[in-house]
């Protein structure tokens, strides 16, 4: 199982804080997880997750979309950070 | 060498004492960031801060440890709030301790510049009139963080 979390503007656009996704071997990278979510969710998810500045995180670390994933991972998608 | 991510307001003097502990005779630099009352959108009545529990603490800890190693800090502390903050409330406090002012100042600035673009916080400004707008990231913040990667201080 994969845990997928969304924050800020993306969380609001999707009206979803987090979801559990069944792990499958064809979900090799974060990019494939994203494509899978878009194929299930449709236009709204496409618009929210295909923005060019979406940040990808894997197990609490920012990574490139091409980073491989494993069963049990926690994945997050969010806009650029604005703390401080 | 500590991080606190908290909802409640903090007392700066108490943070200063937590930073210093039993250390004495060194240079100390601190920075406090407050909610500003004006933004591009208008008058700000409150600021809301969302964060990613777990990742936030981890990233802030890594930033502090990097500063410690890079500038030879003797101590550091990062306090960052989340939730709803009123006008003029303190959002963030960073303190650094070093043998000399150069390292204390640089370490403090490095931590602030890094956390702006790397710590998973998102600000939303509540404006006079009822609108609430997510704050956009600034290119200049990213430039400042990138500049540290290029500098060999």
Residues of A near B (Cβ–Cβ under 8 Å) read 5, 7-9, 53, 57, 60-62, 76, 78-84
Contact A80 B117 (CB under 8 A): yes
Q: Which CATH superfamily groups domain A2-78?
A: Beta-grasp domain (3.10.20.30)
Nearest CA-CA distance, residue A84 and chain B, Å? 5
Contact A83 B135 (CB under 8 A): no
Domain map of chain A by residue range?
Answer: 2-78
pLDDT at B61 over 80: yes
The 3-state DSSP class for residue A51 equals: coil
Give the CATH number of domain B2-146: 3.90.1170.40
State what percent of residues in chain B have pLDDT above 90: 76
Contact B134 A78 (CB under 8 A): no
H/E run at residue A40: helix A30-41
The nearest alpha carbon in chain A to B79 belongs to A84
Neighbour count for residue A24 (Cβ, 10 Å): 12
* ipTM, interface predicted TM-score of the complex: 0.94
| pLDDT tier at B120, thresholds 50, 70, 90 | very high
| HSE (side-chain half, CA atoms, 13 Å) at B24 | 1
**pLDDT attached to residue B153:** 54
Short-list B32, B31, B115, CA closest to A82: B115
**pLDDT attached to residue B25:** 60
d(CA B54, CA B49): 15
CB pairs under 8 A between A and B: 70
β B75-81/B90-98 pair status? antiparallel
């Amino acid at each position: 199982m994969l845990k997928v979390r969304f924050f800020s503007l993306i969380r609001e656009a999707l009206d979803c804080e987090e979801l559990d996704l069944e792990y499958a071997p064809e979900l090799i990278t974060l990019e494939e997880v994203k494509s899978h979510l878009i194929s299930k969710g449709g236009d709204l998810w496409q618009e929210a997750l295909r923005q060019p500045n979406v940040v990808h995180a894997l197990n609490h670390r920012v990574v490139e979309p091409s980073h491989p994933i494993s069963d049990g991972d926690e994945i997050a998608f969010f806009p650029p950070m604005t703390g401080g | 060498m500590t991080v606190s991510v908290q909802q409640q307001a903090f007392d700066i003097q108490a943070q200063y004492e937590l930073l210093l502990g039993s250390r004495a005779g060194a240079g100390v630099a601190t920075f406090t960031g407050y909610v500003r009352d004006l933004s591009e959108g208008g008058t700000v009545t409150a600021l809301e801060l969302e964060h990613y529990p777990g990742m936030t603490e981890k990233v802030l800890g890594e930033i502090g440890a990097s500063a410690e190693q890079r500038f030879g800090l003797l101590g550091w502390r990062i306090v960052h709030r989340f939730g709803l903050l009123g006008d003029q409330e303190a959002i963030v406090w960073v303190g650094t301790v070093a043998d000399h002012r150069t390292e204390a100042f640089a370490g403090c600035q490095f931590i602030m510049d890094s956390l702006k673009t790397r710590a998973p916080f998102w600000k939303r400004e509540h404006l006079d009139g009822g609108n609430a707008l997510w704050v956009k990231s600034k290119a200049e913040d990213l430039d400042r963080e990138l500049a540290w990667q290029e500098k060999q201080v």
